[in-house]
Structure 1
Amino acid sequence: MPLLSTSGARALPVVRVRGGQAETADDWLAAEEPLEIRLMWGDRVQRLAVTMRTPGHDADLAVGFLVGEGVIRSPEDVLDAFHAPIQGGQTDPNIVAVRLASGVTFDAGRLERHVYTTSSCGVCGKASLEAVGVITGAPLAPGPRLTPEAIHAMPALLREAQDVFEQTGGLHAAALFSVSGGGASCDLLRVREDVGRHNAVDKLVGSYFASGETVPPQAVVLVSGRASFELAQKALVAGISVLAAVGAPSSLAADLAREHGMTLLGFVRDGRFNVYAGAERLDLSASGDR
């Protein structure tokens, strides 16, 4: 049987081959297990989706998922989020139920998804194409003023905070940064990891709403992979005005950012980045970044 370490990583026996020499050793792999998300309001219970995720911060993931779907619009919309009870007083670690406050309204039909989605899935479980791209949110706040120096510092801070990635090399991450000193410096506020990049963002956003807070409007989100349309939309709904990615953005992500006044940065690594939307938030007056 494989050894179970933390909820985010598992040790498995492997055969390592170097230069024709083989040896047996334990290797750490990112944990991946299914999570069923249920929604409770009034006397109704609806099963929304089953997503593959890295165990940990499951309530945050479920709440963040519902924020991204436009069901939860403020922290007051959430009464509770918990692992579902089973027999003998135990709870099911792979089922999370989110209980909504009375008076919360939403279009239940729009939430219809296939029963299973993958950990890399964003809109791929939608019941119809019309359900894609219709979730927005309140107009974005002006957001922070940024310098290249602050942006360049973010990837290293994110990498240092990726505990499970350090073990496994197999997890995505999303981090929230505050900016100070007129945009010249940054501080890491919070980071979440998951085998799915969409899940990492949901966990990050959900961690605020689940604790009765909203995402700080002057913050920057950095994701460890590429910036897809789905990630840009999740950031938009959460009120995040600056989305940065270590990898490339998609054309649809750039279109969405431009349409809603979001700043979108790509290839934020190795002392460089590209600006795909919202360059007005950047102070490049004393920099060679053009």
Structure 2
Amino acid sequence: MTESSKGTLYVVATPIGNLEDLSPRAAGVLAGVAVIAAEDTRHTARLLKHLSIERPLLSLHEHNEAGRVGQLSARLEGGEDVALVSDAGTPLISDPGFVLVRALRESGHRIVPVPGPCALVAALSAAGLPTDRFVFNGFLPAKRGARRNSLEALSERAETLVFYESPHRIRDSLEDIAAVLGERRVVLARELTKTFETFLDGSAEQLLERMAQDPDQARGEFVMMVAGAPPRDADAASLDGQVILQALLAEGIGVKQAAAVVSRLLGGRKKAWYELALSLKADG
């Protein structure tokens, strides 16, 4: 079989809320393929019904993705076109599809993106934070210790930090951002393109206060954006931190607590301040 007679895998972006955001090209692709591989077939069936499209659906999610590779590869080899969609937005962006796309590309199959909605891009475009460079980190870990470690590892990055977050963990994540990253500007994009789309702007502590006053602001799906680390004179920061650590230790503050205070005041990795505090304490 020649390359031109094989099928194509179309990676199709679908709406993140407002169904009118689906492009005419995406609708045409979905109507024309032999099968649609969907993260949740029930969710995609509702979209197809809205579009008056009837196409066979095949589930493809994180638990069965590897097992679907051979099946979909065979269909492409047979000349059938296939569409890959997630529940919302652009597939593979914190959604299944990477295993499939990599395997099919390595096998020489044609992969064509059909661009469209993407929550992180939509959020950044209206957040008012720098977008020339940003770091997308998907979802933060569910457990507090791992979440704080992840934030610590990102604490010195100068780029805008972008995360996805769920409503049942948004308060916990904001508390950890306040503890690890301090008073940086945070922008929350909530329920993008939907009826109650909202952008909340302020420090993590201010946003927590807003949610305490209005619990509705903690509902929905979030894109969480945090300003990058401000530029600092490394030598001056080190000297200031050493002076503060010495003062805290002299007052009987523990090494761990002293390091946490300096990290919050001056930025930088808490581990580095902890090691400096240990050294200062050892020197008396």
TM-score, normalised relative to structure 1:
0.26
Q: Whose strand proportion is higher, 1 or 2?
A: 1
Look at both structures and tell me which one has the larger radius of gyration over its CA atoms.
Answer: 2
Q: Whose helix proportion is higher, 1 or 2?
A: 2
TM-score, normalised relative to structure 2:
0.26
